[in-house]
Amino acid sequence: MSYTERVIDHYENPRNVGSLDKNDPNVGTGLVGAPSCGDVMKLQIKVNNGVIEEAKFKTFGCGSAIASSSLATEWMKGKSLDEAQKIKNIEIAHYLSLPPVKIHCSVLAEDAIKAAIEDYKSKNKGEMADAA
Amino acid sequence: MKNQIDYFELLHLPRSFDIDLDALEKAYITHQQKYHPDTQQGINACEKLKLMQQSVLINEAYQILKDPLKRAAYMLGCLHKEERINDSDLLEEIFDLQEEAGALSSEMDIKNFLEKIEFDIQKTFAVLGALLNENNLKDAKSLYFRAKYLSEIYKKLSF
């Protein structure tokens, strides 16, 4: 199986690799995995006034999993939480032209996005209620 | 485990994670000789096809049962399934191990690390096997995931 150009690009030049302080109340962390392929994906966001100002990831896994999470951080940056929540795995898979056997890598990235947003929201329950 | 072939039954072996590998080997050879289409004389095409299908199943049973990870996955009913998890304790541990593995530089460090992982895999299999034999599938599954992750780390590093 060969990777598409976009997968190779994200694999060789991953965007936003790194980590944020998970104890920072403005940071949401999503940690998800697919044991059958040995993938572990960590995706973190830093939120300011409801907008994702920073997104970082670190993924141990295949090229498609790395590319999917790298792309996810790129797409999340600058978006509101609600907008970011709407990112669908199928859009990631489509953009990267993932073959059917690698679709689950994009699903994992969507899981990671949702988990990070969820973590941020649960940390900031009080404030979110105040804002509403 | 509906609609799934019972590989243990197929090879006439007792259903247990602690399989006797010699008995498995013997059972495999015996059954393969019995069902292999080439060992039969004077059969028609339809009978030959049936034997071939049986022969393929026996091969499959052997390949799955001899490998402890595949055997565990099979007993858990999650063979060939791509499951996704968010068990943070396990994932954090694996994430840290992956980082540790990535930072190893000297051959000695790699050797020691691999030994540690190998030991951990064996320990995990021991508990996993006991849980599988008790049919405690829920706890067994999370240990299977752990064993699977550890084996992936081992494979990657021992390349």
How do residues B39-80 score in pLDDT, each as one tens digit?
Answer: 777 788 888 888 889 999 999 999 999 999 999 999 999 888
* Residue span of the structural domain in which A114 resides: 5-121
User: Is A105 one of the annotated active-site residues of the chain?
Assistant: yes
Query: Residues of A with CB below 8 A from B92's CB?
Result: 31
Arithmetic mean of pLDDT, A126-132:
61
Domain ranges across chain B:
7-66, 88-157
Task: Put residue B64 in one of left, alpha, beta given phi > 0 → left and psi -120 to 50 → alpha.
Answer: alpha
Q: Using pLDDT thresholds of 50, 70 and 90, give the confidence band for residue B34.
A: confident
Whether A127 is in a domain gets the answer no
Whether A132 is in a domain gets the answer no
| pLDDT given at position A129 | 59
Whether A130 is in a domain gets the answer no
Whether A11 is in a domain gets the answer yes
Residue B82 to residue A104, Cβ atoms within 8 A: yes
The CATH number of the structural domain formed by B88-157 is 1.20.1280.20
Interface confidence, given as ipTM, is 0.87
User: Mind listing the pLDDT tens digit for each residue in A71-108?
Assistant: 999 999 999 999 999 999 999 999 999 999 899 999 99
Measured CA to CA, the distance from residue A85 to residue A75 in angstroms comes to 11
For residue A39, pLDDT over 50 is answered with yes
| pLDDT given at position B81 | 85
Looking at domain B7-66, does it have CATH number 1.10.287.110? Answer: yes
Helix axes B137-157, B68-76, angle to 10 degrees: 150
Question: Chain A closest CA to B34's CA: distance in Å?
Answer: 34
For residue A131, pLDDT over 60 is answered with no
Contact indicator for B148, A61 with CB cutoff of 8 Å: no
CATH of the domain at A76: 3.90.1010.10
Nearest Cα to A112, choosing from A37, A12, A40? Answer: A40
Query: Residues of B with CB below 8 A from A40's CB?
Result: 91, 94-95, 98, 149
The total of structural domains in chain A comes to: 1
Strand partners, A31: A42
Give the DSSP letter of residue B85.
B
User: Is A62 one of the annotated active-site residues of the chain?
Assistant: no
Whether A110 is in a domain gets the answer yes
Task: Give the total residue count for chain B.
Answer: 159
**What is the per-residue burial (b if ≥16 Cβ within 10 Å, else e) of B38-65?**
eeeeeeeeeeeeebeebbebbeebbebb
**Burial of residue B110, with CB atoms counted within 10 A of its CB: 0-12 exposed, 13-18 middle, 19 or more buried:** middle
Measured CA to CA, the distance from residue A17 to residue A32 in angstroms comes to 16
Query: Residues of B with CB below 8 A from A34's CB?
Result: 82-85
